[in-house]
Amino acid sequence: MISKYVTAVELADDANEYPLLKVPPYLRAQVDVLKELTWFYVIDNRSIKTQQHGQRMVVKNLFKIYLDAGVSEDADARGILP
């Protein structure tokens, strides 16, 4: 399906033409439906909210650890940086 969406679009003939990317209306409708399904079943899915919260916490903690190591004068603390 992805290749169908990628190959079906066309560029405008003139650089001043708007929009520059021509998308057939039936494909735009299909993509809009797929986006809504993605939001409903993946992004706003209640069953994975706890997992997403945990993942955010891990990223925040790692960012803080690396930030602190980056400004530290302690060679051991800086040693955790890749």
Total domains, the chain = 2
- Give the Cα separation of 57 and 63 in Å (integer): 10
Specify the pLDDT at position 48.
85
Residues 36 and 5 in one domain: yes
- State the pLDDT confidence band at 67, using cuts at 50, 70 and 90: very high
Residues 54 and 35 in one domain: no
Residues 2 and 40 in one domain: yes
> DSSP 3-state helix, strand, coil percentages of the chain (rounded to 5)?
70, 5, 25
Residues 22 and 53 in one domain: no
List the alpha helices (DSSP H) in 18-48.
25-38
pTM: 0.53
pLDDT at 78 exceeding the cut of 90:
no
CA 62 to centroid of chain Cα atoms: 20
Residues 39 and 58 in one domain: no
Specify the pLDDT at position 1.
85
Is residue 47 within a helix (H) or strand (E), and if so which, with residue range? none
11-57 pLDDT, tens digit per residue, is 988 888 888 999 999 999 999 999 999 999 888 888 888 888 999 99
Specify the pLDDT at position 37.
95
Range of the domain at 69: 48-82
Residues 57 and 38 in one domain: no
Residues 79 and 57 in one domain: yes
